[in-house]
């Protein structure tokens, strides 16, 4: 009997990462999952196992190459293969700063997690996927990887870079049977968005909801569904692309 496929998901303890992990678990995948905090591990593993997935957890800081090494080693040592990788770990940074107000700390942290983190993951995931016979990578980008947004230049720059990394990686690894795509969510109802727009029916929340022609924010599960599609054989002729999950935002 062929063993269940293995997926690696970074930043899996909450939001889009957790929704994706649960979705893969329900399909019977074996999961290697990471996040920043040790205390997030036991609860996440319990939920994933209850959903049907055999899961392992490691604490990893994806602002450093060592985080990618830990993540890939977890998958390979626990399960002996890697079939899918979801590079989701990210930070919103400080989204109240104009360009003139940017700080070294904000720029470095935002780019190190959102951009360098994806690059380091790609570096170490690709050989593991190649040894396993190929597979799929999905990078979690943002509508901010396609357009400009005021007062979050570091975040916008980091996500534009993810879009470029996705295309470059797709070209490099296509001959190895590895597909690389991205999802570009709009505003998704997560803890991250609450930190940006506040709790409750705030002016900021209503404003960002109005950016979406569908008139609402998305849910983590809706982004997870797009990730599952891009990782699946149903997307076998799709690579180097970015799928917007944005309620029509980018259609304006």
72 within 8 A of 8, measured Cβ to Cβ: yes
Smallest Cα–Cα separation from 86: which of 187, 229, 222, 248?
A: 229
Query: 29, 57, 120, 155: which is the annotated catalytic residue?
Result: 155
H-helix or E-strand containing 198? Answer: none
3-state helix, strand, coil in the chain (%, to 5): 50, 15, 35
Q: Is 155 in the active site?
A: yes
Handedness of CA 41, 46, 51, 54 (dihedral sign): positive
Which are the contacts of 34, defined by CB distance < 8 A and separation ≥ 6?
Answer: 8, 9, 10, 11, 12, 57, 58, 59, 60, 62, 67, 70, 71, 74, 89
Length of the chain counted residue by residue: 252
Distance, in Å, from the CA atom of 195 to the CA atom of 172, rounded to the nearest integer, reads: 37
Catalytic residues: 155
């Amino acid at each position: 009997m062929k063993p269940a496929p293995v997926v690696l998901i970074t930043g899996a303890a909450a939001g889009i990462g957790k929704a994706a992990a649960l979705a893969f678990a329900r399909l019977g995948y074996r999961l290697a999952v990471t996040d920043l905090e040790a205390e997030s591990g036991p609860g996440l593993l319990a939920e994933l196992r209850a959903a049907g997935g055999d899961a392992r957890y490691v604490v990893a800081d994806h602002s450093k190459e060592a985080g990618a090494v830990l993540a890939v080693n977890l998958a390979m040592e626990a399960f002996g293969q890697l079939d899918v990788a979801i590079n989701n770990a990210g930070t919103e940074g400080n989204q109240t700063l104009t360009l003139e107000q940017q700080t070294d700390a904000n720029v470095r942290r935002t780019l190190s997690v959102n951009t360098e983190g994806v690059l380091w993951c790609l570096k170490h995931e690709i050989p593991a996927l190649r040894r396993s016979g190929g597979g799929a990578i999905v990078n979690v980008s943002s509508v901010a990887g396609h357009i400009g947004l005021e007062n979050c230049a570091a975040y916008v720059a980091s996500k534009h870079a993810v879009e470029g990394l996705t295309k470059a990686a797709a070209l490099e690894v296509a001959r190895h049977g590895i597909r690389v795509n991205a999802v570009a969510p709009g505003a998704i109802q997560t803890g991250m968005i609450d930190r940006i727009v506040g709790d409750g029916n705030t002016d900021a929340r209503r404003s960002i909801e109005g950016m979406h022609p569908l008139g609402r924010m998305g849910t983590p599960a809706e982004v997870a569904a797009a990730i599952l599609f891009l990782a699946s054989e149903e997307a076998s002729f799709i690579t180097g692309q970015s799928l917007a999950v944005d309620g029509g935002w980018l259609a304006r």
